[in-house]
A and B are shown apart, each in its own frame.
Chain A
């Protein structure tokens, strides 16, 4: 068993449950769409009475309607995005630090492999795990649209949304990994992941409610903004550039720090 197989085997149960949970979430959320489409007029009327800031917080300020598939996805798809962000953060907070936290580092780092090899393999296994989850969300969303979409089709905007999932995950993964390389030990990766995922979502919601331009740069959900993508505004080039810079910058920083990290005995 090589390191890559070992890394995948180690997280296979977690991947299974996350795939199951995310798929169920997507199908559950989309199963309400026929009702929304049927009662479109009433839903639109209800939403008119909601405060504008509250609708903006959910990305619905300019949405056409909850009875429209794009409008409904703006509301429902963000939950999958937050879940994917939390999983990606979990991977980031544990990928390089798990061995040290659990005291296995001596075992792995005294094998005849370089730290570069370990970094690349671990990075690759996380990339694959995140891709599997993204594919599960995409597949379940497509199945959901097929069964509950009331005849709606997969539009170009929805395909862009699907394509933005992995970059969004990588933003969280790379950032979390970089954070661990500035810490001595990572005691509670789940808490940190939830903090990063929900924290960024709160900033995203606040950005919408406050209509703050500055907050757009401080949360990753705004970089690949579901609301803008589905309302045909696409992804702004500056945020594509920021995404690339952060993912490569944080990954490079983590790599250099990992190469020079001292593994002290417990």
Chain B
């Protein structure tokens, strides 16, 4: 079952394009990564899903309900953490969280204290006295305290120190194991790589690729570094790119079966071979550059 289903969603700000024909689905129980650089359209997509922006065309459903018609019902089961957190400065953390909880049915006091303890957040401080990182923690608690079925995170880790990021990711895994679906938007690829099952890459407001994180890394490209007597001409049968040459070694990115590569290499006098999986960053840049070229 799809928790989020987006069909050709388009948002223009006047004549300026926000997103165009964005389509993807997020399955129940999935942690779905949404990556792209700043300004690519991640926040626009998320804000449209949440009803903060009105789509120019296209449609989207969450929990099989139309986002433009059933916003309040949908948002009962959504926890949202925006990229920039701004709250009522004069309120105490506890007051703000209680106010937030009052919009959802049930008593969430116990969960609020649990999350605040886990994230080392002082509930009695005023919002205006908090650092950006602590405000982010407030955002995390208010987003998770009602145990939502869908958690939408827009650049959630900015401002959190590495230790707190680790705790946060553990918390997200626990929420996911509880059954929550997560849409995780980020431009930090390592985060997505470590946490997500599938990923959508967005560029200039358009989805470039949707793939499982594992297959994205395994089935596509290999980074190869070879030392010995070998030239680019020796590799003419292979599909390679980003060829670089040094005094006694070469490097390139290879796409294809490993046996084909090894056969070609075996014909040359080589002294060392290093075959690595590319990082998600390199894959990401590949999609960016190849799309630009096309």
Contact = CB atoms under 8 A, between A and B. Distances in A.
A113 B72 contact: yes
Nearest to B76: A112
Interface in A81-120: 102-107, 109-114, 117
Interface string A222-266: 000000000000000000000000000000000000001011111
Contact of B104 (A10, A112, A263): A112
A112 B73 contact: yes
> Which of A6, A105, A265 lies at the interface centre, i.e. has the most chain B CB atoms within 10 A of its CB?
A265
Contact of A1 (B47, B54, B99): B99
B278 interface: no
A48 interface: no
A263 B80 CA distance: 15
Interface residues of B, number: 30
Interface in B183-223: none
A109 to B, nearest CB: 6
Given A105-B52, A106-B52, A111-B75, A265 B43 contact: yes
A10 to B, nearest CB: 8
A99 to B, nearest CB: 9
Contacts, number: 68
A111 B47 contact: no
Nearest to A263: B52
Interface string A113-134: 1100100000000000000000
B282 interface: no
Interface in A1-37: 1-2, 6, 10
A102 B91 CA distance: 14
Range of interface residues on chain A?
Answer: 20 to 34
A262 B98 CA distance: 27
A247 to B, nearest CB: 27
B82 A106 contact: yes
A263 B54 CA distance: 9
B102 interface: yes
Interface in B242-293: none
A264 B53 contact: yes
A107 B104 CA distance: 14
> Which of A10, A109, A262 lies at the interface centre, i.e. has the most chain B CB atoms within 10 A of its CB?
A262
B54 A109 contact: no
> Which of B50, B54, B88, B100 lies at the interface centre, i.e. has the most chain A CB atoms within 10 A of its CB?
B88
Contacts of A106: 52, 80, 82, 86
Given A102-B86, A104-B88, A265-B82, A110 B52 contact: yes
Contacts of B74: 112
A110 B51 CA distance: 8
Contacts of B71: 114
A61 B53 CA distance: 55
Contacts of B51: 109-110
Interface string B97-130: 0111011100000000000000000000000000
B75 A112 contact: yes
A266 B13 contact: no
Contacts of B232: none
A2 B105 CA distance: 12
A262 B78 contact: no
Contacts of A1: 95, 98-99, 102
Interface of B: 13, 43, 47, 50-54, 71-76, 78, 80, 82-84, 86-88, 95, 98-100, 102-104, 142
Given A110-B52, A264-B53, 11 more contacts: A103-B84, A104-B87, A105-B52, A106-B80, A107-B100, A109-B50, A110-B51, A114-B72, A262-B54, A265-B43, A265-B82
13 contacts: A2-B102, A104-B87, A105-B52, A107-B87, A110-B52, A110-B80, A110-B82, A111-B100, A112-B75, A112-B103, A112-B104, A265-B83, A265-B84
